[in-house]
């Protein structure tokens, strides 16, 4: 596992890879390339590779004055690379970034249909505090979880 490489989303190739991982894992919130580019201006976003293969991506939404020093840490690992410890490595890196930004509260968000993601979050100390539908007509809720 020494060939795990993690890179910031800072060029067209990494934007495309981040978009691919996100849209595959979160089909209820498909993002355009322009939407991903916009997010790079306000979030810390990274893509991860095992050798040359894309294995996932991370997002750290930094604390702001409006969110009470809360950072949101999201780790996405493509299904074929799960249960190998890679998600934990990505999560620990993203958590470290959030803490370096002086986050007082750490949250994550998972689509309710993502059983692997919910299990991962719970195994890493997150507890659910809210469920909601993002848009009218949606049928699968989002789950907000907070690190205990």
Per-residue DSSP letters for 112-147?
Answer: TT-HHHHHHHHHTTEEEEEEE-SSTT--S-EEEEEE
Under 8 Å between Cβ of 8 and 45 = yes
Give tens-digit pLDDT for 77-129. 999 999 999 999 999 999 999 999 999 999 999 999 999 999 999 999 999 99
Q: Kindly tell me if the per-residue pLDDT of 1 is higher than 90.
A: no
Give residues with Cβ within 8 angstroms of 120, minimum separation 6. Answer: 75, 87, 91
CATH assignment of the domain containing 70: 3.40.630.30
Q: Is the pLDDT of residue 13 over 60?
A: yes
Q: What integer pLDDT is reported at residue 65 of this predicted model?
A: 84
Q: Say if residue 27's pLDDT is above 90.
A: no
Structurally, how many domains does the chain consist of? 1
Q: How many residues does this entry show for the chain?
A: 148
Question: Confidence band (pLDDT; 50, 70, 90) for 2?
Answer: low
Q: For the residues 24-52, what does the mean pLDDT come to?
A: 94
SS3 85: coil
- As given in the structure block, the two tokens for residue 15 are 């934007």
Q: Which domain holds residue 71?
A: 4-147
């Amino acid at each position: 596992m020494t060939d795990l490489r993690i890179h910031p989303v800072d060029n067209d190739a990494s934007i495309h890879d981040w978009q691919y991982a996100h849209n595959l894992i979160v089909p209820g919130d498909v993002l355009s390339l322009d939407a991903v580019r916009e997010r790079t201006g306000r979030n810390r976003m990274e893509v991860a590779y095992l050798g040359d293969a894309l294995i996932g991506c991370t997002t750290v939404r930094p604390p702001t004055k409006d969110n009470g020093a809360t950072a949101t840490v999201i780790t996405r690992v493509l299904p074929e690379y799960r249960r190998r410890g890679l998600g934990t490595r990505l999560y620990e890196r993203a958590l470290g970034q959030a803490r370096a930004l002086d986050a007082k509260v750490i949250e994550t968000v998972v689509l309710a249909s993502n059983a692997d993601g919910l299990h991962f979050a719970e195994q890493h100390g997150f507890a659910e505090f809210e469920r909601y539908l993002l848009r009218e007509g949606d049928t699968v809720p989002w789950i907000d979880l907070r690190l205990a």
